[in-house]
Structure 1
Protein backbone atom coordinates (compact mmCIF):
# COMPACT_ATOMS: atom_id res chain seq x y z
CA UNK A 1 0.00 0.00 0.00
CA UNK A 2 1.43 3.45 -0.87
CA UNK A 3 2.46 5.62 2.06
CA UNK A 4 0.18 8.51 1.08
CA UNK A 5 -2.88 6.27 1.69
CA UNK A 6 -2.03 5.47 5.34
CA UNK A 7 -3.85 7.14 8.25
CA UNK A 8 -2.09 9.33 10.80
CA UNK A 9 -0.64 7.60 13.91
CA UNK A 10 -0.15 4.24 12.23
CA UNK A 11 3.21 2.51 12.58
CA UNK A 12 4.20 0.83 9.31
CA UNK A 13 7.27 -0.81 7.77
CA UNK A 14 8.76 0.16 4.41
CA UNK A 15 8.21 -2.73 2.02
CA UNK A 16 9.61 -1.37 -1.26
CA UNK A 17 10.49 1.83 -3.10
CA UNK A 18 9.17 2.75 -6.52
CA UNK A 19 9.79 5.50 -9.02
CA UNK A 20 12.81 6.32 -11.10
CA UNK A 21 16.34 5.44 -10.05
CA UNK A 22 16.84 9.04 -8.91
CA UNK A 23 13.67 8.98 -6.78
CA UNK A 24 14.65 5.66 -5.16
CA UNK A 25 18.15 7.00 -4.46
CA UNK A 26 16.74 10.17 -2.86
CA UNK A 27 14.33 8.20 -0.66
CA UNK A 28 17.14 5.88 0.39
CA UNK A 29 19.31 8.89 1.26
CA UNK A 30 16.46 10.16 3.48
CA UNK A 31 16.41 6.81 5.36
CA UNK A 32 13.54 5.02 3.64
CA UNK A 33 14.88 1.50 3.13
CA UNK A 34 12.97 -1.79 3.10
CA UNK A 35 12.38 -3.08 6.61
CA UNK A 36 12.57 0.37 8.24
CA UNK A 37 9.69 1.27 10.59
CA UNK A 38 7.99 4.61 9.92
CA UNK A 39 5.09 6.51 11.48
CA UNK A 40 2.75 9.06 9.91
CA UNK A 41 2.79 12.15 12.16
CA UNK A 42 0.49 14.43 10.15
CA UNK A 43 -0.85 15.01 6.70
CA UNK A 44 -2.37 17.70 4.53
CA UNK A 45 -3.87 17.68 1.05
CA UNK A 46 -0.42 18.13 -0.50
CA UNK A 47 2.06 16.49 1.88
CA UNK A 48 2.72 14.05 4.68
CA UNK A 49 5.10 14.28 7.66
CA UNK A 50 6.64 10.98 8.70
CA UNK A 51 9.03 9.88 11.41
CA UNK A 52 11.81 7.67 10.10
CA UNK A 53 15.01 6.70 11.92
CA UNK A 54 14.38 9.35 14.59
CA UNK A 55 13.91 12.21 12.10
CA UNK A 56 10.78 14.00 10.95
CA UNK A 57 10.57 14.37 7.20
CA UNK A 58 7.96 16.12 5.07
CA UNK A 59 7.24 14.57 1.68
CA UNK A 60 4.87 15.81 -0.98
CA UNK A 61 2.22 13.27 -1.97
CA UNK A 62 3.80 12.57 -5.36
CA UNK A 63 7.03 11.48 -3.64
CA UNK A 64 5.24 9.64 -0.82
CA UNK A 65 3.33 7.49 -3.32
CA UNK A 66 6.67 5.87 -4.26
CA UNK A 67 7.03 4.36 -0.77
CA UNK A 68 5.17 1.06 -0.37
CA UNK A 69 4.46 0.03 3.23
CA UNK A 70 2.94 -2.93 5.05
Structure 2
Protein backbone atom coordinates (compact mmCIF):
# COMPACT_ATOMS: atom_id res chain seq x y z
CA UNK A 1 0.00 0.00 0.00
CA UNK A 2 1.44 3.35 -0.96
CA UNK A 3 1.80 6.16 1.55
CA UNK A 4 3.82 9.40 1.90
CA UNK A 5 7.50 9.33 2.90
CA UNK A 6 6.58 11.07 6.17
CA UNK A 7 4.78 7.90 7.31
CA UNK A 8 7.79 5.58 7.03
CA UNK A 9 10.11 4.92 10.00
CA UNK A 10 13.82 5.65 10.12
CA UNK A 11 15.78 2.88 8.41
CA UNK A 12 13.03 1.86 5.98
CA UNK A 13 13.94 1.31 2.34
CA UNK A 14 11.05 2.26 0.09
CA UNK A 15 10.40 2.68 -3.62
CA UNK A 16 8.87 5.86 -5.03
CA UNK A 17 5.53 5.31 -6.77
CA UNK A 18 4.64 8.89 -7.60
CA UNK A 19 4.66 12.54 -6.64
CA UNK A 20 1.34 14.11 -5.62
CA UNK A 21 2.21 17.70 -6.26
CA UNK A 22 2.11 20.46 -8.79
CA UNK A 23 4.45 20.86 -11.71
CA UNK A 24 7.07 22.78 -9.71
CA UNK A 25 7.23 20.25 -6.83
CA UNK A 26 7.35 17.35 -9.29
CA UNK A 27 10.14 18.98 -11.32
CA UNK A 28 12.14 19.64 -8.16
CA UNK A 29 11.87 16.03 -6.98
CA UNK A 30 12.72 14.62 -10.41
CA UNK A 31 15.78 16.91 -10.58
CA UNK A 32 16.99 15.41 -7.29
CA UNK A 33 16.75 11.91 -8.78
CA UNK A 34 13.53 10.95 -7.02
CA UNK A 35 11.88 9.23 -9.96
CA UNK A 36 9.08 6.66 -9.83
CA UNK A 37 10.53 3.20 -9.19
CA UNK A 38 13.67 4.55 -7.51
CA UNK A 39 14.61 3.07 -4.09
CA UNK A 40 15.01 5.54 -1.22
CA UNK A 41 16.37 4.91 2.29
CA UNK A 42 14.77 6.90 5.12
CA UNK A 43 17.71 8.11 7.23
CA UNK A 44 15.58 10.25 9.55
CA UNK A 45 11.82 10.23 9.21
CA UNK A 46 8.75 11.67 10.76
CA UNK A 47 5.89 14.11 10.26
CA UNK A 48 8.21 17.15 10.38
CA UNK A 49 10.26 16.10 7.34
CA UNK A 50 12.75 13.51 6.19
CA UNK A 51 16.43 13.01 5.51
CA UNK A 52 16.76 10.37 2.80
CA UNK A 53 19.43 8.66 0.70
CA UNK A 54 18.58 8.51 -2.98
CA UNK A 55 20.97 7.46 -5.77
CA UNK A 56 23.94 7.76 -3.38
CA UNK A 57 23.16 11.29 -2.18
CA UNK A 58 21.56 12.50 1.04
CA UNK A 59 18.63 14.88 0.65
CA UNK A 60 16.67 16.72 3.35
CA UNK A 61 13.00 17.29 2.56
CA UNK A 62 10.58 19.51 4.45
CA UNK A 63 7.33 17.92 5.60
CA UNK A 64 5.45 19.52 2.69
CA UNK A 65 7.60 17.95 -0.01
CA UNK A 66 8.10 14.64 1.83
CA UNK A 67 4.34 14.37 2.23
CA UNK A 68 3.85 14.64 -1.55
CA UNK A 69 6.21 11.78 -2.38
CA UNK A 70 4.28 8.51 -2.40
CA UNK A 71 6.12 5.22 -1.87
CA UNK A 72 5.74 1.51 -1.13
CA UNK A 73 8.02 -0.91 0.72
CA UNK A 74 10.94 -1.74 -1.57
CA UNK A 75 10.17 -5.47 -1.53
CA UNK A 76 6.56 -4.86 -2.61
CA UNK A 77 5.44 -5.89 -6.09
CA UNK A 78 3.24 -2.80 -6.18
CA UNK A 79 4.20 0.25 -8.25
CA UNK A 80 6.92 0.87 -10.82
CA UNK A 81 10.45 -0.51 -10.74
CA UNK A 82 13.40 1.60 -11.83
CA UNK A 83 15.21 0.21 -14.90
CA UNK A 84 18.58 1.63 -13.78
CA UNK A 85 18.52 -0.07 -10.35
CA UNK A 86 19.52 -3.75 -10.22
CA UNK A 87 16.71 -6.09 -9.15
CA UNK A 88 13.52 -5.53 -7.16
CA UNK A 89 15.39 -5.31 -3.84
CA UNK A 90 17.82 -2.61 -4.91
CA UNK A 91 19.49 -0.52 -2.24
CA UNK A 92 19.21 3.25 -2.10
CA UNK A 93 22.96 3.81 -2.44
TM-score normalised by the shorter chain: which range applies? over 0.9
Match of 2:37? Answer: 35
State TM-score, norm by structure 2: 0.71
Higher fraction of strand: 1
- Structure showing greater relative contact order (alpha-carbon pairs closer than 8 Å, 6 or more residues apart): 1
Gaps of 5+ in 1: none
Higher fraction of helix: 1
Max Rg structure: 2
Count, aligned residues = 70
State TM-score, norm by structure 1: 0.93
Structure 1 runs (4+) greater than 6 angstroms displaced: none
Relative to 1, partners in 2 of residues 1:9 and 1:29: Cα closer, same or farther, differing over 3 Å?
same
CA RMSD in angstroms, aligned pairs only: 1.1
